[in-house]
Amino acid sequence: MSAGDAGAPVEDAAPATDVVVRFSGEVCCERRAGALPLVLIGAIDHGQSAHLAFASRVPTDLPQRLDAATVQRVGPDRYRLESGTRQWLLSASAIFLHLDAGKAFFRAIPPRRASLARRLLWHALVLLAASAPGRRWLEHRSTL
């Protein structure tokens, strides 16, 4: 059987030409209904979260969790998913990679400091809650 035949063993596939994503640690394999039935969710460099969705049929022997998985493009619309000693060949018309930029964004742009009025208000509220009469007043206010 050649690499172009349907159902070809992974060993016959063309050599990997392009690493799409390399997950570190545990990878969750979600099966979904719709146009993107397979989504791999895991961490990549420096703990950044990544979601890789495939417009592909889900292999029946694909477990729900993988460890340190790598996805490589092996040809037009063909991808190899490797984890440990196991591999799966996926034929996908499209893939979508979403990288969570939240951590990098908030590292670059620190949060705004709370105003003096807001800090004084919270300080007064904590002092109020620390006293017995203050707790009674707060309890009374919460029942209104």
Q: How far apart are CA 28 and CA 52, in angstroms?
A: 11
Contact 8, 89 (CB under 8 A): yes
pTM, two decimals, is: 0.63
For the chain, percent of residues with pLDDT exceeding 70: 88
Check residue 15 and give its pLDDT. 53
Check residue 107 and give its pLDDT. 79
Check residue 106 and give its pLDDT. 80
Cα–Cα separations (whole angstroms), residue 109 to 24, 60, 119, 136: 26, 44, 21, 41
Q: Are strands 78-83 and 70-75 parallel, antiparallel or unpaired?
A: antiparallel
Mean pLDDT of all residues in 25-40? 92
- Largest pairwise CA distance in the chain: 83
SS (H, E, C) 79-127: EEEEECCEEEEEEEEEEEEEECCHHHHHHHCCCCCCCHHHHHHHHHHHH
